Chain A
């Protein structure tokens, strides 16, 4: 809202103090987020840092009078695009860290030096430009930011707008085409799979279900064999590899013991009597 007050006057030379404070605090956050994006080892951490930077940028858009773009930045960038990134990170593997072997010698340092030089060039260029006063969006946003944008999109930029529509459709079709996998073999029918299973003769009936005594039916609890040991057939092998299986066989026996103890107490029988 600072920007509204600031942009109300035409050709101002400075924004309000509140906006300056906001800029310096959030600008630091944005730069730190950007640096973390390129320095974090894991792709998930990079994605989260980038999301933080994008949210800060959304606030800057709002401060600059771009109310529509600020909301779109949150919805489209941090909402859709970053989530798409996270999906792909999960798909490709969270542990897919960078390889630290350098194929080109000293490439990282050269890249950092190039970046530094480029940054100095850009900042010096802006510093040399004569930008002492600014107009502000008070007049342009007078009829509402969204209305102003719509008036421009559907008159002056209508052709570009239609081309972006074609671009989006092409991108959607292209993504489907790229990720589609053609099936090279015919899918096995149920009959064929049953015959293959009988021929292999390893496990003919369906696998036994997990769970113990109808008390626990969670997938991470193996079923018990008649001798009280757990059966590996009843739980998923992935869970076993991760060591996420809970063995409750002793727990069930302890529960029954406690139940018998309680009923014995209630009926007034002592241990000796119960044994007789």
Chain B
């Protein structure tokens, strides 16, 4: 097996995540799909690091994880405050910028 299979898997996971963002309405699930896409990118970075024989890809994956953590914190806070004002976590309901 060639490690390029990991790249195929990563692109498959990324595609599933992207389709999920388009299909789902629940803001939390949309957010989970974004996490799935970030994870797929990380797998691609780690595989690239192995294919090229240096650790830079792993560093980028590490930074992606840090950014994902920050993003999750802010995004979930936004979802919670949206839910407080609208009593719904559906992305269809949040069609206005103001409350």
Residue numbers of A with Cβ under 8 A of B are 3, 7, 10, 13-15, 19-20, 23, 27, 30-31, 34-35, 37-38, 43, 46-47, 50, 53-54, 57, 60-61, 64-66, 68-69, 72-73, 76-77, 80-81, 84-85, 88-89, 91-93, 96-99, 103, 107-108, 111-112, 114-116, 118-119, 122-123, 126, 129, 131-132, 134-141, 145, 148-149, 152-153, 157, 160-161, 164, 167-168, 170-172, 174-175, 178-179, 181
Of the A-B pairs whose beta carbons lie under 8 Å apart in the complex, a sample of 30, sorted by A's number, is A10-B53, A13-B2, A20-B1, A37-B29, A43-B26, A60-B43, A61-B43, A65-B50, A69-B46, A77-B35, A81-B69, A85-B72, A92-B83, A96-B28, A96-B89, A98-B26, A111-B23, A115-B15, A119-B15, A131-B4, A132-B2, A134-B50, A135-B50, A136-B50, A164-B63, A164-B70, A167-B70, A175-B76, A178-B80, A179-B81
Q: Please tell me if the beta carbons of B39 and A172 are within 8 angstroms of each other in the complex.
A: no
CB-nearest residue of chain B to A11: B53
> Within residues 33 to 85 of chain B, which ones have a CB less than 8 A from any CB in chain A?
33, 35-36, 39, 42-43, 46-47, 49-56, 58-59, 61-63, 65-74, 76-81, 83-84
B52 is contacted by which of A3, A34, A135, A145 (Cβ under 8 Å)? A135
A174 to B57, CA, bound (A): 29
What is the chain A residue whose CB lies nearest that of B4?
Answer: A131
In the bound complex, what is the Cα–Cα distance between A80 and B70 (angstroms)?
12
Contacts of A53 in B (CB 8 A): 13, 36, 39
- Interface set of B (CB-CB < 8 Å, partner A): 1-9, 11-20, 22-26, 28-29, 31-33, 35-36, 39, 42-43, 46-47, 49-56, 58-59, 61-63, 65-74, 76-81, 83-84, 88-90, 92
